[in-house]
A and B are shown apart, each in its own frame.
Chain A
Amino acid sequence: SQTIHQWPATLVQPVGSPLSLECTVEGTSNPNLYWYRQAAGRGLQLLFYSVGIGQISSEVPQNLSASRPQDRQFILSSKKLLLSDSGFYLCAWIERPGVTDTQYFGPGTRLTVL
């Protein structure tokens, strides 16, 4: 069966520090992968998605970036964090892209920028 992992689970970082969040998927190959952010207002904001290794699409301009160095690995990064980067970051993958498109979500990373 498929499993999605995210780490770390929680993170407290000072403003201006770098960031690296990791997401990995097991039990599938060539998934579509997604990064979302959920701020205190509860809404889900799509940040990045990837349809394959090295292929990243950005939805919202910001100081974050994403990379996909391996088929089942998706990384969210920042060189310098801002206070506004605080939030709950969720990674998701799609089963059978173009057929059913059900997105399954990881456990999330709660980031606090101080």
Chain B
Amino acid sequence: AQKVTQAQTEISVVEKEDVTLDCVYETRDTTYYLFWYKQPPSGELVFLIRRNSFDEQNEISGRYSWNFQKSTSSFNFTITASQVVDSAVYFCALRAYSGAGSYQLTFGKGTKLSVIP
């Protein structure tokens, strides 16, 4: 079975602080994809990043960076110099193959990030 754990339910930081959102996953698949999504107050889930299990290189995109470590089954997300616009719920997800041609995502329960001005 697939499982994604985001142990941090809510985090509050002051603007310009760095913050790391944790994600730990479980899967028996040797090939899999991991994802991060952002859900701002408007509600729509915004895709941030996809990482496949064979690529353990860290990735940086502006103030965002992702640390993928297969040894610890973790895919953590760091926001550097946080801004108020970063306030949102962030979801980590794992791709599982559910058969019959469908590929489902298993989501964590999300981490609510509040950036205080």
Give residues in A with beta carbon < 8 Å to B.
32, 34, 41-44, 46, 49, 51, 57, 88, 90, 92, 94, 97-98, 100-108, 110
Contacts and interface: CB of A to CB of B under 8 A. Distances in A.
Nearest to B103: A101
Contact of B43 (A34, A101, A107): A107
B44 interface: yes
The B contact surface, by secondary structure, is: strand
B44 A44 contact: no
B27 to A, nearest CB: 14
B45 A105 contact: yes
17 contacts: A32-B102, A32-B103, A34-B104, A42-B89, A42-B110, A43-B107, A46-B104, A51-B101, A57-B102, A92-B45, A97-B101, A101-B33, A101-B95, A105-B37, A105-B44, A107-B42, A108-B43
Contacts, number: 60
Interface of B: 33, 35, 37, 42-47, 50, 89, 91, 95, 100-105, 107, 109-110, 112
A37 B45 CA distance: 12
Contact of A42 (B46, B50, B102, B112): B112
Contacts of A94: 103
Contacts of A43: 107, 109-110
Contacts of B104: 34, 46, 49
Contacts of B101: 32, 51, 97-98
Contacts of B47: 102-105
B50 A102 contact: yes
A68 B43 CA distance: 24
A42 B109 contact: yes
Given A32-B101, A97-B102, A103-B47, 17 more contacts: A42-B89, A42-B112, A44-B107, A46-B104, A51-B102, A57-B100, A90-B44, A92-B45, A97-B101, A98-B103, A100-B50, A101-B95, A102-B35, A105-B37, A105-B44, A107-B44, A108-B43
